[in-house]
A and B are shown apart, each in its own frame.
Chain A
Amino acid sequence: MQDAGPESPVSVLEARISLKYDYSAGQSASRFLRAIERGKLLGQRCPVDGRVYFPSRGSCPQHAVTFGDEVVELSDKGTIVTYSIVRVPSANIPLALPYIAANVLLDGADTILMHVLDAKPDQVHMGMRVQAVWKPRAEWTTSTANIMFFRAIDEPDADYESYKEHI
């Protein structure tokens, strides 16, 4: 609690909460994470409308059906569909300020991967083609952090029509 001295009343309680949890990733996320440990990006397809979800939580949030065990292996190349220029530092983002927070539509996926882009603010634009830059293979674990960030690749921009539904 805070108080300026013995004469001033106690006016605040500092209450510290500390709770330990053992989380389970569940089946689908576990499969996804084991695959990313091997450098593979796995999506899953909704049996109702064929959309590919990446990452997959094991079920289609629109149709409430489980995906089962079938997976779709995705490229680590994609398109920037939208982005923000961020000027607030974050301990776990390995890029200098300002950095780009980007929504990446990986080739073959119908859902967005939120990640960061190693580029200057005046270079980034919607439709830009990018590819994942991975950590050294020896450092790979069961984590999406195996991909450090995305970088531009030398391909023509994707047509707006091809990603406008995913913004």
Chain B
Amino acid sequence: MRPANETNDPALTALKALTASHTLEYTYKRSLGPVLSRFFTGLRARKFLGLRRPDGSVIVPPKEYDPDSGQSLDEWVEVSDQGVVRSWSWVSQPRPQQPFDHPFAYALIQLDGADTPFIHVVDVPGEANMKSGMRVKARWAEETTGVITDFVFVPA
């Protein structure tokens, strides 16, 4: 334990409290279920799969049930591994848990063939290289294992 080094209104507190750092860590093994299993198995094979919704649109990643109607979805569609950036945020100071040690963008990316974008990351040298509407493509890891971090996006 080490003494706290932040000060506070002396009217509120009489005694400096002790502090201790603690890292809360745990691993969950989550069952994917049939729909996500198919999606992530597709990623392992370097393919992007989505599901067609009752209105004809294609959602990527796939959902078990349609977000609007609640209907269960079962019409699989393979979409491109290239698409368009719909929006982005620039991370100039990455945190340890985040995918890169250097600055990068989180983005909403809509793959060709999908009708909805999803959140992922774009690896570019700087903010000036990001623009909504730019085309990106997946850059796959050397070894894909069937997780969302099997790839990142780079300019197409």
**Direct contact, A vs B (beta carbon within 8 Å):** yes
A153 to B29, CA, bound (A): 49
A92 at the interface (CB under 8 A from B): no
Instruction: Indicate if B146 sits at the interface (CB-CB under 8 A).
Output: yes
Q: Mark A3-27, 1 if CB is under 8 A from B, else 0.
A: 1000001111111111111111111
- Which positions 62-117 of chain A face chain B at CB distance < 8 Å? 69
With A and B bound together, what is the CA distance between A31 and B43 in angstroms?
Answer: 55
| 12 other A-B residue contacts (CB within 8 Å) besides A13-B147, A23-B22, A24-B19 | A10-B37, A12-B30, A13-B36, A18-B24, A19-B23, A20-B22, A20-B23, A23-B19, A27-B13, A29-B17, A30-B18, A31-B15
Number of A-B contacts (CB under 8 A): 97
Distance, CA A56 to CA B97, complexed state (A): 37
Closest Cβ of chain A to B8, distance in Å, is 10
Smallest CB separation, A134 vs chain B (Å): 18
Q: Which of A17, A20, A29 contacts B26 (CB 8 A)?
A: A17
B residues touching A (Cβ–Cβ < 8 Å)? 1, 4, 13-32, 36-38, 40-41, 43-44, 97, 145-147
Contacts A9-B38, A11-B37: A3 and B146 contacting too (C-beta < 8 A)?
yes
For the complex, what is the distance from the CA of A17 to the CA of B26, rounded to whole Å? Answer: 5
B22 A21 Cβ-Cβ under 8 A: yes
A141 CA to B26 CA in the complex, in Å? 28
List the A side residues contacting B1 at CB < 8 Å. Answer: 25, 33, 141-143
> B13 CB to closest chain A CB, in angstroms?
6
CB nearest neighbor in B for A2: B29
Q: How far is the CA of A11 from the CA of B32 in the complex (A)?
A: 5
**Assembly CA distance A87 to B55 (angstroms):** 60
- CB-based contact A12/B32 at 8 Å: yes
Bound-complex Cα distance A165 to B129 (A): 71
Contacts of A26 in B (CB 8 A): 17
Q: Given the interface contacts A25-B17, A69-B14, does A13 sit within 8 Å of B30 by beta carbon?
A: yes
Q: Which residue of B lies closest to A26 (CB)?
A: B17
A151 to chain B, nearest CB (A): 27
Which residue of B is nearest A142, CB measured?
B1
Contact status of A12 and B17, CB under 8 A, knowing A17-B24, A18-B23, A20-B22: no
A138 at interface, CB cutoff 8 A: no
Across the interface, name the chain B residue whose C-beta is closest to A37.
Answer: B1
**Minimum C-beta distance from A11 to chain B (A):** 5
Partner of B41, one of A9, A17, A24: A9
Contact A25 B146 (CB under 8 A): no
Report yes or no: A1 in contact with B145, Cβ–Cβ below 8 A: yes
A15 to B21, CA, bound (A): 23
A34 at interface (Cβ–Cβ under 8 A)?
yes
